[in-house]
Every structure is written in structure tokens, then in C-alpha cells.
Amino acid sequence: MGYRDQLQIEFYPGAFASKNSGQDESKNPPIKLTSQNNSNISLIASLVLHSLQHRLATVQQSTVTAKQTLQFISSAWDRTVGLENEARMLEFCGVTRLTLSKPDDSSLSLRARCTLLGSANASTPGRKGASKSSNAKRIDVDFTVRARIEQTDAENTVGSLDFDIDVLATKVYGFGTGNKSGLPEKELQSILGKGLGQKDGDVQLGNGVWCKAVRTLTASVF
């Protein structure tokens, strides 16, 4: 079966718990998740897909229903929309590049780097390839995203997918020797944290909260 014209799901319904039959717990057929029609998916979707595949490989299918499993998959896949919106709106703040870490057995992370430039590069008239002006500044803001599975207190559930998000601001150039002038990087972190609302609990993804936090930082630094 397919979901959102993006995800192809293959599973064996008889392996899951039901009211009418008992299941052999030794049988746990694989659940296959692939992109529909072998289409390319975003790096963010790849992060979620990797986490889904790892979680489903550990679920004892005879203890959960097919409905619970499909709800887990669809809810997790829906969360990619919010992250993709955040990354897309971040491009309005600066040059943004997404990269995935090399996966190990269970962990995969995504980095969204937004490069902020304090002023346009000035060049000496008539000189080809002139160097940057002395007042040019650059800060890199890195959002690192890791997917995690939230387990509930109830038994026989698959859980739900959530994200751990860390943000780091690094002064690259334009802040004096050793980049020690201007606000310290610890203060940059504080500005971003407040902009993301980290102290207020869970951050609602998809409404441009990353972009708003970065713009607040830009206004404070440049």
C-alpha cells in the first residue's frame, strides 16, 4: 500500500495481533518501506525513513495491531512536512545546505547549515578577484536534527516519532583576531534558544520558527 504518493509499505497482515487468531511470536516478517515508484525523497524524509525502518525491525508484530503500526508510520511521515517547511523558510535567511551524517546501526542525523553574511563583499574598482572588505562578517548557524522514538506507558504500542534539535552558531570571520570581538558565541546560543522557544517546551515545527530565530540573531549581530 502507498501513503501520500511518497511511501510504499509492504507487510504481512497475518503477523499482527487480532481478536480472532493467535500469532506465533517466533514469526516476525519484515516490514518493507521504500519510496513510491523509486522516486527521490528529500534528505529530511531519508532521516525519518531510516528511523522508521530501525524501529519497525524491533517491534514484535504479534503484540501490536496492523492499525497501530500503520498509524505510527503515517504520523511519523507527516512530521517530515514540518521539518521540510522549516528548512525551506531558512533559505530566506541565508544560504542553506542540508547534509546527512553517515548512518551506523541505529543513528542518523541531519544538519541544516544556514550561512549568514553581515554585509555585501566590497572590492577594489578595476581589480579582478579582489578580496573581501574588512567589514564583511560571516556566521554559520547549524541545526542538527535526530529522530527518536517516544515510548508510552501503555503496553503493546509501537510508540511515536519525535525529534531532538540542537542549534549552534559559529563566528567564521569578520570578528577580529580569533573572532573574539562582538557578542560571544555563548550569547549567540542564548539568542537562538530564546527565538526557538526552547525554555517553553516543545517547539512547533513548520511555522518558520527556525527562520524567526535566525532573523533575531541577525538583527542582534550585524
Q: pLDDT by residue (tens digit) across 33-59?
A: 998 876 788 999 999 999 999 999 999
Cα 53 to chain center, whole Å?
Answer: 16
Q: Which residues of 123-157 are buried (b: 16+ CB within 10 A; e: fewer)?
A: eeeeeeeeebeeeebbbbbebebbbebeeeeeeeb
Instruction: Establish if 180 belongs to a structural domain.
Output: yes
- Ramachandran quadrant class, 4 (left: phi over 0; alpha: psi -120 to 50; beta: rest): left
Instruction: Establish if 129 belongs to a structural domain.
Output: no
Q: pLDDT by residue (tens digit) across 166-188?
A: 999 999 999 988 888 889 999 99
How many CA within 13 A on the CB side of residue 130?
10
Q: For the chain, how many structural domains are there in total?
A: 1
Instruction: Establish if 126 belongs to a structural domain.
Output: no
2/154: higher pLDDT: 2
Q: How many CB atoms lie within 10 A of CB 66?
A: 16
CA–CA gap between residue 145 and residue 168 (Å, rounded): 12
The residue among 47, 48, 36 whose CA lies nearest residue 9 is 36
126/46: higher pLDDT: 46
Report whether pLDDT(120) > 90. no
What's the whole-number mean pLDDT along residues 15-21? 74
Instruction: Establish if 32 belongs to a structural domain.
Output: yes
Instruction: Establish if 169 belongs to a structural domain.
Output: yes
CA–CA gap between residue 73 and residue 71 (Å, rounded): 5
Full domain range(s) for residue 169: 2-120+135-221
Instruction: Establish if 73 belongs to a structural domain.
Output: yes
Report whether pLDDT(89) > 50. yes
Q: pLDDT by residue (tens digit) across 180-215?
A: 888 999 999 999 999 888 665 566 789 999 999 999
Phi, psi at residue 19, to the nearest 5°? Answer: -75, -20
What's the whole-number mean pLDDT along residues 62-78? 93
Pair type for strands 2-3 and 109-117 = unpaired
**C-alpha cell recorded at residue 152:** 508510552
What's the whole-number mean pLDDT along residues 84-94? 96
Query: What pTM did the predictor assign?
Result: 0.84
Alpha helices in 42-90 (DSSP H): 43-58, 66-90
Instruction: Establish if 128 belongs to a structural domain.
Output: no
Instruction: Establish if 130 belongs to a structural domain.
Output: no
